Amino acid sequence: METYDALLLASTTPEPGRTRTILDPATGEEVGEAPVHGVEDLERAVEAATAAQPAWAALGHEARSAALLRAADAVDRSAEDLARLLSREQGKPLNGPNARFEVGACSGWLRATAATPLEPETVVDDGQTHAELHYRPIGVVGAIGPWNWPMMIAIWQIAPALRMGNAVVVKPSEHTPLSVLALVRVLNQELPEGLLTAVCGGPEVGARMAGHPAIGKIMFTGSTATGKAIMKTSADTVKRLTLELGGNDAGIVLPDADPKAIAGDLFWGAFINTGQTCAALKRLYVHDDIYEAVCEELTAVAATMPMGVGLDEANVLGPLQNKQQFDIVARLVQSAKDSGARVLLGGNPEPDQPGYFYPTTLVADIDNDNPLVAEEQFGPALPIIRYSTVDEAVAKANGLDAGLGASVWSSNPAEARKVAARIQAGTVWINSHGGVHPMVPFGGVKQSGYGLEFGVEGLKSLGVPQVING
């Protein structure tokens, strides 16, 4: 087991002029010095990955799965120290669905990926033709991750890529490199040398990854704008892509829902990771009949949730991870206040407080075209919009270019499923929002990206289909 100090030390580099200081977004205190890699470091990582990949692929699914299980054991051995590093660098609290939860999900996804069967599929066998569909390794996969769930999303990319016989080069967010470096170090206790490498560079490294001729696929989670840039840069090499891009998820509360019964799940659907989740509930449509009751019950729940420094065991909400995101949330909430919307809770950050804390904010009586509704806030501020008919709510839910997730809330699941079928989103949850499962495919539609992750479909997306006919 690696200690916290050992993980932190191993995630830094002593090279002068090639480091960047990482600060705790809750306190402003220094966490550590992150390496700043360049394109030449990427080239070395790709060369090592290319050399290591054939022998890894030759091991077969069973041996590769066994290695993933050993890697999961390694994560479990270092879980608490990984969680503490994650909490300090990203800002999320240790408890609740936060740092310890995220590290546990890393182990769980490794195990689930190892256990997922993927057998050759006989597509025709009629006595004259026998055709089988197989999936072969791509080669080297480039994984570009975000800062909101840096460890967990890295595993979502790494685990299926390795299972399918690929090597992986990871580029973590510049905001949260130490967490991913530490995780990769732990995983590499059980993996062949050169197979998995993290390169902590800026946009020039990401651009080179997207256009690199030796990288056969890019997996990217992040903004729609960056996803579009990756598509353009990758075109010359006809690179395979899985893009999980921005979301502005809608929730529709039907008039038969029980406001008190759903309030807790509504809260966590919107405010998990302090709202910094692509598939969080970001705009809530509530029928006139129960609008005030939902506002009242949701406010009562939200008011009980402690926010503060992540290493304090009592807290379940933390800061925004960076000032840029804090400024976005502040701007959008101010736009709602300027329009005359009713602030039920929050909306006034303390000016002299250290860290990027924005209070849990609920905004009612807001127009559907207000920027807080129309733009993805990615923070702890939820607009609650009235509607009169289900047709109106569905039209508003479908009115944006985003289509990652959505939810329908009702005491009648059958009726909720009928409404869900009308919503343009990759996943629609019933009476919950944002939950993911390693065997349930996940991906977006419209400008929230394309490609599927998780389960059998996720494994297939990390392979090259090959038909053997005859």
For the cut 60, the answer to whether the pLDDT of residue 2 exceeds it is no
Q: For strand 281-287 and strand 249-253, is the pairing parallel, antiparallel, or unpaired?
A: parallel
Element holding 393 (H helix, E strand): helix 390-397
Among candidate residues 158, 135, 53, 195, the one with its CA nearest the CA of residue 463: 135
Count of alpha carbons within 13 Å of 301, Cβ hemisphere only? 19
Q: What CATH fold (topology level) applies to the domain 4-245+445-469?
A: Aldehyde Dehydrogenase; Chain A, domain 1 (3.40.605)
- CA–CA separation, 49 vs 164, rounded Å? 14
Model confidence, pTM: 0.95
Percent of the chain at pLDDT > 90 equals 95
Which residues does the annotation mark as catalytic?
A: 244, 278
For the stretch 139-193, pLDDT in tens is 999 999 999 999 999 999 999 999 999 999 999 999 999 999 999 999 999 999 9
**pLDDT digits 0-9 by tens, 199-220:** 999 999 999 999 999 999 999 9
Mean pLDDT over each residue of the chain, to the nearest integer: 96
Superfamily of domain 249-430: Aldehyde Dehydrogenase; Chain A, domain 2 (3.40.309.10)
pLDDT tens readout for residues 319-343: 999 999 999 999 999 999 999 999 9
Amino acid 14: pLDDT: 47
Mean pLDDT of 52-80: 98
Exposed, middle or buried: residue 242 (CB in 10 Å: 0-12, 13-18, 19+)?
A: buried
290 contacts 444 by C-beta, under 8 angstroms: no
The domain segmentation of the chain, as residue ranges, is 4-245+445-469, 249-430
